[in-house]
Amino acid sequence: MNTMPKPPRATGKKDDRILVSGLGEYYDDLLTLDAWVNGRSKPQQANSLLCAKLMEREGRIKERVAYLAGKRGISADEMWVQILRGDAEKIHPEESEQSSVYAQE
């Protein structure tokens, strides 16, 4: 008789969870309190807080992507796609097409 447990069945779903480093005692307590007050679990509340912060910063993120695209001489849309695909590469100031323009500003 085989007593080995069966491995979990692959569902074909991507695991979208992200790992967040420890918050520290104070912020972990605040998250616990905030989750309780809002009637959510800690993971649900953490997700909600992260989404709210990203919405708040969305405009700034787009501006920064556009800036980085300009340094590379490509469109902001192309830079966006490269970053999401994992193809974007960091460059040094001397490598950018428009480094002299940005250095004069």
pLDDT-derived band at 7 (thresholds 50, 70, 90) equals: low
pTM higher than 0.75: no
Q: What is the pLDDT of residue 104?
A: 45
Domain boundaries, the chain: 27-104
Task: Indicate the angle between helix axes 76-85 and 42-72, nearest 10 degrees.
Answer: 130
Among 3-17, 52-66, 77-91, the minimum mean pLDDT is found in 3-17
Where b means 16+ CB within 10 Å and e means fewer, 39-69 reads: eeeeeebbeeeeeeeeeeeeeeeeeebeebb
Summarize pLDDT for 72-81 with one digit per residue, the tens. 999 999 999 9
